[in-house]
Amino acid sequence: MTYTSFLVSEFLLLWRRKQDVINALLFFVIVVTLFPLGVSSSAEFLAPAAGGIIWCAAVLAIMMAVEGMFKEDFRDGSLEQWVVSGLSLPILVLLKVVAQWLVVIVPLLAMMPILSEMLYLSDASFWVLIMTFLLGTPSLFLIGVIGAALTVSLRQGAMLVMLLILPFYLPVIIFSTLAIQAADAGLPYSGQLALLLAMSLLSLILSPFMAAIAIKASAG
């Protein structure tokens, strides 16, 4: 196994399992529509809340997409093969996360114009929302992957991953919604974006190693 052949087969697998991604995206849209129907459909409520609603829904959808990431690899013995391949386990984890991120985030971004229109998000904050997504979601995937790696040996691990990982997602949600609110109010928002980027970089350094430790412990 080489890094390239690993990445190629990961993309192939994601393509063959595209229904999973579609499900996560549908889930995302449905959660978003709960708010206008469940709370209030007036523009006065939705416009200021839009950024927060979209982010909360996205966090849940990403959680769903990441939670079972290693389950199949664990069952069919691929995790063992990663460990014995002689390749660096953190890099394999990182490659898998990158593949998964690309496959989920691109359609998610593509749906953003429709959703922000449905929630009356102002044009100015729309681009900030996109930027917070590009800068913030990598850390969501990278942190989530630790939870997925820790619970890979459990049959029913989804709820546990949520409980473990959602608290760590709070800063990302807070920084993102603050950036969008600041943009709404016409204030500078580069500080919050920088914080998001910093979080993503920090998790880029730490999380592959943590996930690798967890995977190695689970594979045995």
Partner 1 sequence: MRILGENGAGKSSLLKVIVGVISPLEGTIVYSGEDVTLDRAPLLQDAIYIGHSVGVKSLLTVAENIRRYCPTVSPEALSAVLKKLDLLDHMNAFASTLSAGQLRRVALARLWLTDKTLWLLDEPFAALDSTAIALLEERIRLHVSSGGLVVLTTHQALRSLPCRDVALMS
Partner 2 sequence: MNWMWFHKLGSPKWFFFRTKAWALPLFSLGCVGLIVGLIWGLAFAPADYQQGNSFRIIYMHVPVAILAQSCYFALGVAGFVFLVWQMKIAPIFIKAMAPVGAIMALIALVSGAIWGKPTWGTWWVWDARLTSVLVLFFLYMGIIALQKALDDPVLANKAVAVISVVGLINLPIIKYSVVLLETLHQGPTFTLTKKPEMPPEMWLPLLVCMIGMCFFVAGLVIWRMQSEILQREHRTSWVREEVMKNGL
CB of 5 to partner 1, least distance (A): 4
**What is the rounded CA–CA span in Å between residue 97 and residue 101?**
6
Q: Could you give the angle at which helices 190-219 and 123-150 cross, rounded to 10 degrees?
A: 20
> Quick one: which of 150, 180, 183, 193 contacts partner 2 (CB under 8 A)?
150
If phi over 0 gives left and psi between -120 and 50 gives alpha, with beta otherwise, what is residue 216?
Answer: alpha
Q: Choosing among partner 1, partner 2, none, which partner's interface includes residue 75 (Cβ < 5 to 8 Å by kind)? A: partner 1
> Quick one: which of 94, 95, 146, 193 contacts partner 2 (CB under 8 A)?
146
Q: Are the C-beta atoms of residues 219 and 150 closer than 8 Å to each other?
A: no
**What is the rounded CA–CA span in Å between residue 40 and residue 89?**
48
Distances (CA, A) of 28 to 89, 95, 124: 31, 24, 23
- Residues contacting partner 2: total by CB under 8 A: 28
> Quick one: which of 26, 41, 77, 187 contacts partner 1 (CB under 8 A)?
77
> Quick one: which of 56, 83, 162, 166 contacts partner 1 (CB under 8 A)?
83
The closest alpha carbon to 32, from 52, 53, 60, belongs to: 53
CB of 69 to partner 2, least distance (A): 16
CA-derived radius of gyration, the chain: 18
Q: Choosing among partner 2, partner 1, none, which partner's interface includes residue 6 (Cβ < 5 to 8 Å by kind)? A: partner 1
The closest alpha carbon to 212, from 94, 39, 124, belongs to: 94
Q: Choosing among partner 1, partner 2, none, which partner's interface includes residue 163 (Cβ < 5 to 8 Å by kind)? A: partner 2
> Quick one: which of 33, 81, 85, 153 contacts partner 2 (CB under 8 A)?
153
**Which residues, 6+ apart, have CB-to-CB distance to 84 below 8 Å?**
none
> Quick one: which of 26, 34, 40, 80 contacts partner 1 (CB under 8 A)?
80
- Give residues in contact with partner 2 (CB under 8 A): 143, 146, 150-151, 153-154, 157, 160, 163-164, 166-168, 170-171, 174-175, 178, 199, 202, 206-207, 210, 213-214, 217-218, 220
